[in-house]
Amino acid sequence: MAYPTIDKTYGFKPVNRLDGLPYAGAIRQIPIAAGYATAILNGDTVSVNTSGYLIAKTATNTGDSVGVLVGCQYVNSSGQTVQGQYYPASQSTSTALAFGYVVDDPNAVFKVVATTAGSTTPAAYDRSIVGANVPMVANVGSTNTGDSYYGIDGSAAATTNTLPIRVVDVVPDTATGSASASATTYYEFLVKFNLHQYTDTTGI
């Protein structure tokens, strides 16, 4: 079967751990504050604020994340508990908090599409960005599908230690030519968090 065509960024998708073990579906439930008015899409990066609540991580090139949202639970206006793919804005109340389901392992490895700043269009880069740090591209996702449009900006790869994402490897299936050729470029990469709230020694 042919590898799917990559025509747009799709957020961060957990695939395994840095030690090579497979991702087994582990998540943590983190509450979302009453009245939180920002939608968080499936595949968006998230952080915990100083009040202990989950918030969307929209800064593209600085700051720690706690993980990636992969679902949520909230009580809708009819009083029904909903298990959702994403968090629609303003679903959390003082009597019925919403909870985000977060892949929060600091050693989790994610698949993500490379692009450029402010774009959802895939951009191909060669292996020279492997090992470098890169900014996130925090595009607004689709509330119709619940899917994130986050990506990484491969054009800004650097050794800057304040960049939030570390590139671990390429996804060979998205090679633009022969994977054995030195000039081959790729649309998808494997990444981990370079800045993570659980490993930041200063805390939140």
Q: Is the dihedral of CA 51, 54, 59, 65 positive or negative?
A: positive
Residues 110 and 188: beta-carbon distance below 8 Å? no
Residue 63 has what pLDDT?
82
Q: Is 63 left (phi over 0), alpha (psi -120 to 50) or beta?
A: left
| Assigned token pair, 164 | 């939030």
Residue 62 has what pLDDT?
74
Residue 175 has what pLDDT?
86
- Torsion angle, alpha carbons of 32, 36, 38, 43, to 10: 0
| pLDDT tens sequence across 37-86 | 999 999 999 999 999 999 999 877 778 999 999 999 998 878 889 999 99
Query: Cα separations (Å) of 114 from 88, 136, 165, 176?
Result: 26, 9, 12, 13
Stretches where the chain sits below pLDDT 70 are 1-2, 178-183
Residues 65 and 164: beta-carbon distance below 8 Å? yes
Query: Cα separations (Å) of 13 from 18, 56, 188?
Result: 14, 16, 11
Query: Cα separations (Å) of 202 from 61, 106, 196, 197?
Result: 19, 16, 11, 9
Nearest alpha carbon to residue 47 among 35, 189, 109, 33:
33
Residue 204 has what pLDDT?
83
